[in-house]
Amino acid sequence: DIQMTQSPHSLSASLGETVSIECLASEGISNYLAWYQQKPGKSPQLLIYYASSLQDGVPSRFSGSGSGTQYSLKISNMQPEDEGVYYCQQGYKYPPTFGGGTKLELK
Amino acid sequence: EVQLVESGGGLVQPGRSLKLSCLASGFTFSNYGMNWIRQAPGKGLEWVASISSSSSYIYYADTVKGRFTISRDNAKNTLYLQMTSLRSEDTALYYCARQGYNNQFAYWGQGTLVTVSS
């Protein structure tokens, strides 16, 4: 199975700050990488697919980048509603696997 | 509007069975692959099973292979997960999710809670 390693495990950001979350795959995944946001008590929501494509309705302050085994999610201009847990997920090979999650809080 | 509504969760004893359902609406169900994904209390996300649009391709996580069966009824717009020989480690919130273009999960239901305990 492809292992997905996220970092950091948690972070806090001030209003308006830019933050980045990293995701490392145990082997190349050809940009088959998605990012999800999960708020407390809610279902995960797809933010980014194919490493850098923004899902419809997702604010443009979210962006994704990367290639090969290394990917990142950037959140520009941190807002209160951006608090939550973020997961990466590879869809290159079965089984689909998720990273362990990054908890983002507003400072 | 895409809607996925899971049902069938509950408290069940170890070794017993349970069947989950996911009713889909707002899209042509028969055109999309579907998945079950679970989340143990306070933990991360774990993919459980996938089924293609016509049920031709089915995949399972090793942790549930041989115990769980995914199926679908396209006439009823419904996805199922038959769970047998349940274990305490199967305790989780079970989500159904619609497949996206690159094997991502574009839409999720609200989840149904399965608790395996004596």
A36 contacts on B by Cβ (under 8 Å): 45, 105
The upper half-sphere exposure of residue B61, i.e. CA atoms within 13 Å in the direction of its Cβ, equals: 17
Q: What percent of chain A has pLDDT over 90?
A: 100
pLDDT (average), residues A87-102: 97
Q: Which residue of A34, A94, A100 is in closest CB contact with B104?
A: A34
Statement: residue B80 has pLDDT above 90: yes
Answer yes or no: do B106 and A89 touch at CB < 8 A: no
Q: What is the pLDDT at residue B103?
A: 87
pLDDT at position A71 is 98
Residues of A in contact with B100 (CB under 8 A): 34, 46, 49, 91
Cis peptide before A59 (omega within 30 of 0): no
What pLDDT is recorded for position B49? 98
**A-chain residues near B104 (CB < 8 A):** 32, 34, 46, 49-50, 89, 91
Percent of chain A with pLDDT over 70: 100
Question: Where on the phi/psi map is residue A66: left (φ > 0), alpha (ψ -120 to 50), or beta?
Answer: left
Main-chain dihedrals φ then ψ at residue B88, nearest 5 degrees: -60, -35
| pLDDT band with cut points at 50, 70 and 90 for residue A48 | very high
User: Is A23 an interface residue toward B (CB < 8 Å)?
Assistant: no
Q: How confident is the model over A22-36, as a mean pLDDT?
A: 98
Residue at A101: amino acid letter: G
Per-residue pLDDT tens for A61-76?
A: 999 999 999 999 999 9
Residue B50 is given by DSSP the state E
Q: Considering only the beta carbons, identify the residue of B59, B102, B107 that sits closest to A32.
A: B102
d(CA A105, CA B87): 34
Q: Residue B101: what pLDDT?
A: 79
Tell whether the model's pLDDT for residue B37 goes beyond 90.
Answer: yes
Closest CA to A98 of B29, B43, B70: B43
What secondary structure letter does DSSP report for A18? -
pLDDT tier at B70 (50, 70, 90 boundaries)?
very high
SS (H, E, C) A9-44: CEEEECCCCCEEEEEEECCCCCCCEEEEEECCCCCC
Across the interface, of B59, B101, B111, the residue whose CB is closest to A95 is: B59
CB of A103 within 8 A of CB of A39?
Answer: no
pLDDT at B71 over 90: yes
Q: What is the dihedral of CA B63, A32, B96, B68, to 10 degrees?
A: -20
Chain B residues 1-30 within an 8 A CB cutoff of chain A? none
pLDDT, average across residues B82-98: 98
Summary mean pLDDT of chain A = 97
Mean pLDDT to the nearest integer, A97-102: 98
CB of B107 within 8 A of CB of B4? yes
Cβ neighbour number for residue A40 with a 10 Å cutoff: 7
- Dist. CA B68–CA B109, nearest whole Å: 19
Interface check for B41 against chain A (CB to CB < 8 A): the answer is no
Mean pLDDT, to the nearest integer, of B38-54? 97
pLDDT in the model for residue B94: 98
Separation CA B90–CA B80 (nearest Å): 16
Tell me what the pLDDT averaged over chain B comes to: 97
Report pLDDT digits (tens) over B96-116.
999 987 889 999 999 999 999
Give pLDDT, residue A87. 98
